[in-house]
Structure 1
Amino acid sequence: MTKKLGFLLRLLVVGLVIAETVHGAYEFSRYDFPPGFVFGAGTSAYQVEGAANEDGRTPSIMDTWAHSDSGITSGANGDIACDQYHKYKVDVQLMAEMGLDAYRFSISWSRLIPNGRGSVNPKGLQYYNNLINELISHGIEPHVTLHHFDLPQALEDEYGGWISRNIVRDFAEYADVCFKIFGDRVKYWTTFNEANIFSMAGYDLGFMPPSRCSSPFGFLNCTRGDSLLEPYLAAHNILLSHASATRLYWKKYQNIQKGYIGLNLLSFYSVPFTNKTEDVIAARRVTDFFMGWFVEPLVYGDYPEVMKNNAGSRLPSFTALESQRVKGSFDFFAVNFYSANYVKDNPESLNIEPRDYFTDMAVQWKYKQGNASSFMNRFPPSFEFPLTPWGLQGVLELFKQNYGNPPIFIYENGQRMQRNTSLEDWPRIQYLQEHISVLLDTVRNGSNAKGYFTWSLLDVFELLDGYRSGYGLYYVDLDDPELRRYPKLSAKWYSRFLKGGSITPDSSIELEGNWSSLSSAQAMR
């Protein structure tokens, strides 16, 4: 058995043991984590800011997508969202009262530089300066993402956005503006959010902006795009853009500003559906396609061999100079984790012509019960994610064993629930408790994880279904003209944890009748 196959099987066994035993099985607190370990929460610009047509902001591809007949968000959009553009002081006060160390948010490129390049919008500049200053004044560290699915529509219209090499120059210039203006106070930069999902869902399946795909592969009725080529091309240009921005930061700013820069991916931890060798190899192949697609160029300077073999000439090649620039262009990685996948080998798909990115993977997606599923069916009608905290351990172990154990921030982790007025979100509390517990075990086992951020601070506009689901610690009343925020029970749980309270298997019992202090202090804002 190869070393890699042995490693995968060991992780599978460990994962199954944890899955049976975790359930908040022991007492822990935030002080059990290493000194300096950061805990926070996150949102993104389009999903939380609102004010989409105010103060000089122009549309992004997110606006265009949300206002199109996509069928994903049920006609909802982020024009108003949670109105954090006007209510940022309220939200920062909630963060401070909760005890957050840090807040992860993104900058709207089209709010800061409305044409995608050229002059800076003074109102956009003022907003982000105000937000950053407000956070720092309350002792909250800003973690800033430069691109969260929201390229300015002007650049998409001009040359096709991420499928054009022109984007590399424009992204570097945008990043340069951000570093120059905000870098004296922002020490943690992420170039792209979920670069792998943006490339796949935006350019192969087409259900995310900019909704490019081609029949028969697209999730929606495709009117433009090429699912065979564009996901690989967009990812290639994202990697070149990331490397360009990172090396610019290192050269011009890092020595003075003392900050760090990385890239964010959605981490799909894939488990073989059976213990057959072909399924174990298939799980590794999915990991190479989802994670290795971006991590291996950044760590080793090239794409995984299985991607080059299966995609062939459709996968762009790095020149020697490009490989040199991309390799090593990170200070940290950031991962988002929600749940694990089960996969089964499907070699027949490699006989299909033509093939897209998903067909190249040659797997079938499975639920644990054995039902075949598509990518979109990973979000079941019950709304809630299955509890697979051992998958987070698997992802962190993968980075430790295969990629040199780089610094890692978990930038998103949270439980999806149907959005309603109930504030007693017990499944979310269980989800957070079990994932943080497993994270502690993994850090004690040598993982170089540096921080954990739950998604999300508020119930925001969600990309998969608008306002039908919510991940927030706070409920936002969309029927209230003031958009008041109300703390859920999970906000109380997280606040207790952040302030050093011990978390035990019985912590939820103590919460049941003892969360009115947070509620009375923070509701009705």
Structure 2
Amino acid sequence: MSQLPSDVSAELNPDPRPGNRRDFVKSAGLAALGLATTPLLLSSCDTKPAPVAETQPAAAGGGAHGLSFPAGFLWGTATASYQVEGAVNVDGRGPSIWDTFSHTPGKIANNDTGDVACDFYHRYKEDTQLIKSLNAKAFRFSIAWSRIFPTGKGAPNQKGLDFYNRLVDELLANGIQPFATLYHWDLPQALQDQYKGWQGRETAQAFGDYAGYMAEKLSDRVKHFFTLNELWTFIQLGYGDGVFAPGLKLPPAELNQARHHAVLAHGLAVQAIRAHGRPDTRVGLAENIKVAVPYIETPEHIKAAEIATREFNAGYTTVILEGKYTDTFLKNAGANAPKFTAEDLKIISSPLDFCGINIYNPEAYVRAADNAEGYEKIPFAKSHPTSTSKWELLAPEVLYWGARHMQNIWKVKELYITENGCSGTDELTPENRVNDTDRVAFLRGYLSQLQRAVTDGAPVKGYFYWSLVDNFEWASGYGIRFGLFYMDYKTLKRYPKASAEYFRTMAQQNAVL
């Protein structure tokens, strides 16, 4: 799933203007996608960048730049359970809040649902071959909590576990490393009914128990677990703005408490995975961090961007990695601040083996300012290029600064780009082709910036494109497409796009081409 900024109204109503994509490609969009592929300044940190890892040379003639990644860099792609699996009433799966929400008239574009989605539940072997065809060596998928515990807790459902056992075995048999996400928003409906979902501390405890169970059952083969995906999104949009499941608009104090329970659930899951997983099990987080990009890469503006990024993420990434809410966060919340204990903060900040970040667009461009905050946000121009999703403001350098901020602010030692992608209006030609030149340009521009970050010492170990196939895009339904493979929703046939060929070649040569 893609990252959304605070103003989500445009997301739910893709730009209706005719020729929007065509005009975008012809105008400033492609120019923006090719922004700076060479280093400008390194960082405001006092220390020198870490030594650059030894890289594999790009193949002869491999593009204009031949920007190589380190040997062993993981190329992968990603999906999420409710967005692709379908089979919502199969093999004992319990209902989730997204089943309920998508079946509520008017909540999803065209009243689409995930009932069938991409039918990944029955077609996972076919889709594994698609992953393999991309030369990808890793696949990030999520586990549907209600397939394992239909009511969120209690007796496990063996048939649900069997499915993920089959999937993991299929991936490994094809040389693909499984990266499992334990929560990608499809909360068991029973927990929403019984505890008001993330408003209840009991839900956090139930998540910890579920995480421990999955680590016990899968960590003999799955070595990387993500706890929760995009806490900001499922809390803010689901419990604050009401545009995602469960569709609530809570007052600030209750919203902040739900936010606290989500980060607490993460910490409890980390502890449970360590307690029940194999000794070599690795655990991390996948969060859509809000990235401040320095509008000019000079030391004072870079420092301002670091200050802003830390505060933009105060309720999620910052408290998880620092074990405290920032003074500014608590001051701004005032009487609406979450209630917590010192023990809560200790649990929340349980040490991680790695971090995953989902990055699509910057939260803001910032510059240094002589004010209490130390930075000033620069409004986006009305003409700033976007993808077909109007929230997706295109700025390839956000991938560079997202990685560098994780390194410089929080000293993260191992990092993955767990989501990054471009939506489009992809159309299938009579020859069954999709000429998504916009997505190819997106990949070239963004990955050039990622390669720049790695060259400058950012500890990025892999990149997961969102998404493998077109799928159910939450409140937008099936109206927008992010996949490397085109999905014909009538026949469920998959067709490779031009971007799939581009990704395949990059993964093969381990370089931006």
TM-score by length of 2: 0.81
Asked if 1:498 corresponds to 2:511, the answer is no
Secondary structure (helix, strand or coil) at the match of 2:476 reads coil
Partner in structure 2 of residue 435 of structure 1: 446
Matched with 1:367 is 380
Partner of 2:36 in structure 1? 21
Instruction: Tell me the distance in 2 between the aligned counterparts of 1:291 and 1:71.
Output: 28
Cα separation, partners in 2 of 1:240 and 1:132, compared to 1, 3 Å: same
What are the within-5 Å matches in structure 2 for residues 52-451 of structure 1?
52-213=88-249, 226-255=250-279, 258-271=280-293, 287-342=309-364, 366-369=379-382, 385-422=392-429, 423-451=434-462
Distance 2:171 2:400 in 1: 31
SS at match of 1:135: helix
Distance in structure 2 (CA, Å) of the matches to 1:151 and 1:485: 28
Q: How much has 1:265 moved relative to structure 2?
A: 1.0
1:85-127 Cα offsets, whole Å, 9 max, x none, are 0101100011112211111000001111111111222221111
- Gaps (5+ residues) in structure 2? 1-30, 39-61, 368-374
Could you tell me how far apart the structure 2 residues matched to 1:499 and 1:380 are?
27
* 279-288 vs 240-249, which moves further: 279-288
Q: More helix by proportion, 1 or 2?
A: 1
Q: 2:476 aligns with which of 465, 480, 483?
A: 465
Amino acid at match of 1:47: Q
Secondary structure at the residue paired with 2:474?
A: coil
CA distance in 1, matches of 2:295, 2:110: 33
> In 1, distance between residues paired with 2:220 and 2:403?
31
Flag the structure with more relative contact order, 1 or 2, with Cα contacts below 8 A and sequence separation at least 6.
2
Shift in Å, 1:379: 7.1
Q: 1:27 to 1:344 in 2, by over 3 A?
A: closer
Superposed CA deviations along residues 322-351 of structure 1, whole A, max 9, x for unmatched, are: 222222432111111111243689xxxxxx
1:59 touches 1:152 (CA, 8 Å); kept in 2?
Answer: yes
Percent identity (aligned): 34
Sort the Cα spacing of 1:314 and 1:72 in 2 relative to 1 into closer, same or farther, 3 A. Answer: same
Cα distance between partner residues in 2 of 1:343 and 1:180: 44
The one-letter code of the counterpart of 2:228 is F
Corresponding residue for residue 495 of structure 2: 486
Query: Secondary structure at 1:391's aligned position in 2?
Result: helix
Pick closer, same or farther for the CA change 1:475–1:59 going to 2, 3 Å: same
The amino acid that maps onto 2:244 is M
In 2, Cα distance between the equivalents of 1:502 and 1:445? 16
* 1:183 CA drift (Å): 1.1
Change in Cα spacing, 1:435 to 1:69, as seen in structure 2 (3 Å) is same
Measure the CA separation in 2 of the matches of 1:425 and 1:445: 31
1:477 pairs with 2:488: yes
Q: What is the aligned residue count? A: 452
Q: Contact conserved, 2:33 with 2:446, CA < 8 A, in 1?
A: no
68, 81, 89: which is aligned to 1:45?
A: 81
Q: Displacement, 1:299?
A: 2.2
Cα gap change, 1:380 to 1:479, in 2 (>3 Å): same
CA contact (8 A) 1:49 1:80 kept: yes
Q: What's the offset of the Cα at 1:246? A: 0.7
Deviation at 1:18, TM superposition (A): 10
Task: Name the structure 2 match of 1:520.
Answer: none
Deviation, structure 1 residue 130: 0.6
Question: Over aligned residues, Cα RMSD in angstroms?
Answer: 3.2
CA distance in 2, matches of 1:493, 1:50: 29
CA–CA distance in structure 1, aligned partners of residues 199 and 501 of structure 2: 44
CA contact (8 A) 2:388 2:423 kept: no
| Equivalent-residue separation in structure 2 for 1:54 and 1:68 (angstroms) | 21
Q: Distance in 1 between matches of 2:232 and 2:106?
A: 21
Long gaps (5+) in structure 1: 1-15, 214-225, 346-361, 372-377, 505-525
User: How has the CA–CA distance of structure 1 residues 289 and 57 changed in structure 2, closer, same or farther, with 3 Å as cutoff?
Assistant: farther
